């Protein structure tokens, strides 16, 4: 299991007004002392949990036709969302250009193509919905961090800095696994990694925490609230309501950290202040989690 790093807590400037409207306003937040995982939960760790408990993730469960009125029952099979690069430039306002529903895609086979995770044991687990992350956390004697805890930890003591490492962009000597190239069709890879990278592949922040930005978005326990953001906005690199027959009826949670799909010209959200709205029942190839206590 990933080791926990003790965080002393305290006051900090939460949010930003320099990038996207959902990140504002900036205000003084306070967190009590807590501990948080050094790394995101990996495929190997999640496999240990599933093998011990027999847990079945949301993406593996049969779909109830009553939740999808008018849909062809034959098409209602377990699966999840998989990022698929386009052949060239597309309208970046439509995430459906690069996301597709893949029957059979789940955490042990995140792309749904049979390649599985045999060589990805130390990569962050993906294709986990909120319930799946919470189940692991409970089994491990932990919980999910709140949005404020997550942002405080990601800043690593650099209060007000743009990135987890300071104010320099993620260029040259890369500090996070983010999209390198033109989204969503050309990615040359971050230090050789296209898609997720093994946890700990990039330098830690000043609290000794790895991959607090980039690699995968991470679930928090905080519900999306208009008090800190405009609830109509979300990160276009990941669908906020895909796969739901009635998104308004599903709890919307805050994701933090950005992912390997974030590109500066489109989704510059690999920053501690960045946040995205996500439906609790969604599982994709760019969302993972880490635990707190």
pLDDT at 105 over 60: yes
Q: What pLDDT is attached to residue 242?
A: 47
| pLDDT tens column, 3-40 | 999 999 999 999 999 999 999 999 999 999 999 999 99
Show the domain range for 236.
1-293
Is it true that the peptide bond before 184 is cis, omega within 30 degrees of 0? yes
pLDDT-derived band at 211 (thresholds 50, 70, 90) equals very high
3 state SS of 273: coil
User: Which residues pair with residue 179 across a beta bridge?
Assistant: none
3 state SS of 135: helix
Picking from 37-51, 148-162, 229-243, 248-262, which range would have the lowest pLDDT averaged per residue?
A: 229-243
Mean pLDDT of 268-282: 96
CA–CA separation, 179 and 194 (whole Å): 8
Q: What is the CATH number of the domain that holds 232?
A: 3.90.1580.10
Nearest to 273 by CA among 148, 124, 130: 148
pLDDT at 239 over 70: no
- The residues, ordered by sequence, that sit 6+ positions from 114 with a Cβ below 8 Å of its Cβ are none
| pLDDT tens column, 244-259 | 444 446 799 999 999 9
Residue in this structure with the two tokens 């062809």, named with its chain if needed? 72
CA–CA separation, 149 and 113 (whole Å): 36
User: Which residues pair with residue 186 across a beta bridge?
Assistant: 182
| pLDDT tens column, 138-154 | 999 999 999 999 999 99
Number of domains in the chain: 1
Q: Residue 31 belongs to what H/E stretch?
A: strand 27-31
Q: What pLDDT is attached to residue 50?
A: 98
Q: Residue 52 belongs to what H/E stretch?
A: helix 43-53
- Residue bearing the bigger pLDDT, 22 or 73: 22
| pLDDT tens column, 186-195 | 999 999 999 9
Mean pLDDT estimate for the chain:
92
Q: What pLDDT is attached to residue 228?
A: 64
């Amino acid at each position: 299991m990933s080791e926990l790093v003790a965080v002393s807590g305290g006051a900090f400037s939460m949010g930003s007004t320099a990038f996207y409207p959902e990140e504002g306003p900036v205000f003084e937040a306070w967190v009590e002392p807590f501990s948080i995982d050094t790394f995101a939960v990996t495929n190997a760790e999640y496999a240990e949990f599933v093998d011990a408990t027999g847990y079945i993730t949301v993406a593996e469960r049969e779909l109830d036709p009553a939740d999808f009125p008018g849909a062809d029952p034959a098409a209602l099979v377990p699966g999840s969302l998989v990022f698929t690069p386009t052949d060239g430039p597309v309208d970046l306002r439509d995430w459906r250009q690069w996301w597709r529903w893949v029957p059979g895609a789940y955490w042990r086979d995140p792309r749904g193509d049979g390649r599985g995770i045999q060589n990805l044991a130390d990569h962050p687990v993906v294709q986990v919905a909120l319930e799946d992350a919470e189940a692991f956390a409970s089994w491990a004697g932990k919980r999910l961090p709140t949005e404020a805890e997550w942002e405080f930890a990601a800043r690593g003591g650099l209060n007000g800095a743009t990135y987890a490492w300071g104010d320099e962009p993620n260029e040259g000597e890369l500090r996070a696994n983010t999209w390198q190239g033109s989204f969503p069709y050309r990615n040359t890879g971050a230090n050789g990694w296209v898609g997720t990278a093994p946890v700990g592949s990039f330098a830690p922040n000043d609290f000794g925490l790895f991959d607090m930005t980039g690699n995968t978005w991470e679930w928090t326990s905080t519900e999306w609230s208009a008090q800190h953001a405009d609830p109509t906005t979300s990160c276009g690199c990941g669908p906020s309501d895909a796969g739901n027959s009635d998104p308004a009826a599903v709890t919307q949670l805050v994701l933090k950290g950005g992912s390997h799909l974030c590109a500066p010209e489109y989704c510059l959200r690999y920053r501690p202040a960045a946040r995205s709205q996500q439906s609790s029942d969604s599982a994709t190839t760019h969302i993972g989690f880490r635990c707190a206590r």
